[in-house]
Structure 1
Amino acid sequence: MEINTILTPVLAEKLVVLKDNIKRFPKVSIAFSGGVDSTLLLQVAVSVLGDAVLPITVNGAMLPKSEFAEAQALAKAIGAIPLVLEADVFALENFVKNPTDRCYHCKKFIFTQIKDAALANGYEVILDGSNLDDMKDYRPGIKALGELGVFSPLKESGLTKQDIRDLSAYYGLPTATKPAMACLATRIPTNTPITPAALAAIEAGEDFLKSLGLSQYRLRLLGDTAKIECDPDDFTTIIDNRLALIDTLKNLGIKSITLDLAGYNCGNMNG
């Protein structure tokens, strides 16, 4: 990846701190999803530690297939080959039941597998891409990371989400402008059971929205009703393609499709 932008003095200093935080360890494993945060973390770690970095990607129904494929390509471009673990999240009762602390149970389940795989391959240090802004949102999964001893160097280095996007642009990473992503289960209201069919419908619907070139979007599933959230600037695109969208979703068993006039809002299903 080429470096193609100039850093501000403040951001340059944060990058120095980030590199120093990673240099504390002779080798590290990284929970790598291919999202904005973990991609920057992998890039910087490889620049500091070279091949002493093992990215670990957990693949399962909660991760869109397109995201998994993009993650593999990104890691290869950075110069690292991920270890891929398959996770059956439907074997986890507290994932299926979808309680308010589902994310805690799911993170504990997934990161336990990551930790076991890292240790089995000789990596005692596990890093993740949590950042400073994550502390402002409702994220019960962060508790699980602490319990398992996962280190979050982006957060510890004082990096916000915007800092991470700016550094990603500095390194020439395609994720610099990538829309925020989250587990597909976040599209389902708390205490509504999560099923394979529900996640498949959400994934297919969001793949269609992605194909339209939307800047940011979510397809929330409320029973047999799909609620689309997107930037208000993209409302016209939704309306122009509504017939194809209706066909796509109704073929998946969705009976009603709505457009949220309030637009996209991160965390709408929290609590």
Structure 2
Amino acid sequence: MNADQKIEKVKEILKNYSKLALAFSGGADSTLLAYLAREVDCDLLAISYDNQIFPSGFLEFCKKRASELGIKHEIIENNFLEIDDLANNTSKRCLVCRKLMYSAIKQRAYDKDYKIIIDGNNITDLINDRPGILMKYEYEIESPFIEAELETYEIHKFLNENKIPYSKSTTCLATRVKTNEKVTIGKINRINHCEEFIKGKTNSDSVKLREENNMATIELNDLEGILDSETIESVINELKLAQYDKVLLNLETNNSEEDLVKDFELEIGANSFRLRKKLPFEINISETSEIIQKEIEEENESIRNIETFEDIGYIKLEANGKDSKIFRDGKITIENIKNKKEAKEVLIKILPFIRRIV
């Protein structure tokens, strides 16, 4: 399917539900879902969750976009810094955060008589290290973009071509602090101030400041605005005033439009290619196998002939007619593919069934 066909599929999915609640951040994914739901005349309730540690203007933008889109909007507030499991910033912080967020959104939706809840997770999210995504399965949150096989770049392209505004600063600021370093209101305020300052100096619309041992590492979606001596000096001075000991610049852009298949992941054979992809997390082989087996029983034509080797730690199957393997350590291999496009098409059929280990 091309992007337009995928968008039409999302509309068809939304049409199947007369009433929907949407986890709404005002970012690209949830904004497009709200826009499409309005286009097909869904009774939509957008619910924003304010954990008190989002970037400046997050809540105001959510209110503004909901009003502009003409949709009902509710806000749930909770101060995550008062919750030890989150303030202590362990490796499970995102899992705990999403558990609290989705449970609260589901309860609010049910209280308002909205029994179906959707979110903006898309196919690209499934290759990233986002343990919180497991909570969407636990709380039975639907993800129309995953069902329609939409990728991040396709969502952004549609929004930009149709001039639909969305926020590019919707990620929790606690994710900027190194895992196991305590998150405090002082750190959150300092990160927020510095990111806003850098945005103003560079005209970048996506800035992330990573903090570790009082060292700041700057990530931008476009480096051009910062690469002159005057701007660099200004940024360093401001961050030093904010009491950072060292200021670094990450030369890799924080581009969210990650390609599902990278060129180096394709091995060239005699007459075909082989995909060797490594996901940034371990895979629960038993649970993934059960989910794939259920899909086969429900006559999913894309998936066939599954064999599970629990003791060795991998699953063997056919996806889109291609021999594929899923390994416990996060590796996925796909054999005898013609090109990068076909590799992506097969991978997209596999990713939604994978369940990770946290």
Deviation at 1:150, TM superposition (A): 0.7
State the shift of 1:79 in Å: 1.0
Residue in 1 that maps onto 2:173:
184
Shift of 1:262: 4.3
What is the one-letter code of the residue matched to 1:85? I
Matches within 5 A, 1:1-271: 10-50=2-42, 52-175=43-166, 179=168, 181-212=170-201, 213-230=203-220, 231-236=222-227, 239-264=229-254
- After superposition, give the CA deviation of every residue in 1:25-71 in whole Å (9 maximum; x if it has no partner): 11011010011111001111111134x10000111322113222222
| Pairwise CA distance, 1:203 | 0.9
Q: Take 2:241 and 2:109, find their aligned partners in 1: how far apart are those partners?
A: 41
SS at match of 1:85: strand
Q: Deviations over 1:120-173 (max 9, x none)?
A: 111111110000100011110010111011111111111100111122134420
For these two proteins, the number of residue pairs brought into alignment is: 257
- The structure with higher relative contact order (CA 8 Å, sep 6+) is 1
Higher-strand-fraction structure? 2
**Match of 2:204, as an amino acid?**
L
Identity of aligned residues (%): 28
Q: CA deviation at 1:265?
A: 6.6
List, as ranges, runs of 4+ consecutive aligned residues in structure 1 with deviation greater than 6 Å. none
Letter in 2 for 1:205: C
2: distance between equivalents of 1:115 and 1:80?
18
Cα separation, 2, equivalents of 1:71 and 1:240: 35
Unmatched 5+ residue regions in structure 1? 1-8
The alignment's TM-score, normalised by the length of structure 1, stands at: 0.86
Distance in 1 between the 2:252 and 2:31 partners? 31
> Displacement, 1:244?
4.2
- Give the letter aligned to residue 192 of structure 1: E
| Residue pair 1:36, 1:180 contacting (<8 A) in 2 also | no
Amino acid at match of 1:22: L
Q: Structure 2 CA distance, aligned partners of 1:11 and 1:261?
A: 31
RMSD: 2.3
Compute the TM-score of the two structures, normalised by the length of structure 2. 0.66
Q: Match for 2:113: what amino acid?
A: G
Does the CA contact (< 8 Å) of 2:210 and 2:216 recur in 1?
yes
Q: Deviations over 1:198-237 (max 9, x none)?
A: 1111111111122231154311111222111223323325
Distance 1:158 1:258 in 2: 37
Partner Cα distance (2:142, 2:83) in 1? 25
| CA spacing shift, 1:201–1:180, aligned 2, 3 Å | closer
Aligned twin of 1:6: none
Higher helix share: 1
- Cα offset, 1:249, TM superposition: 3.2
SS of the equivalent of 2:227 reads helix
- Please say which structure displays the higher CA radius of gyration: 2
Gaps of 5+ in 2: 259-279, 282-358
CA contact (8 A) 2:236 2:247 kept: yes
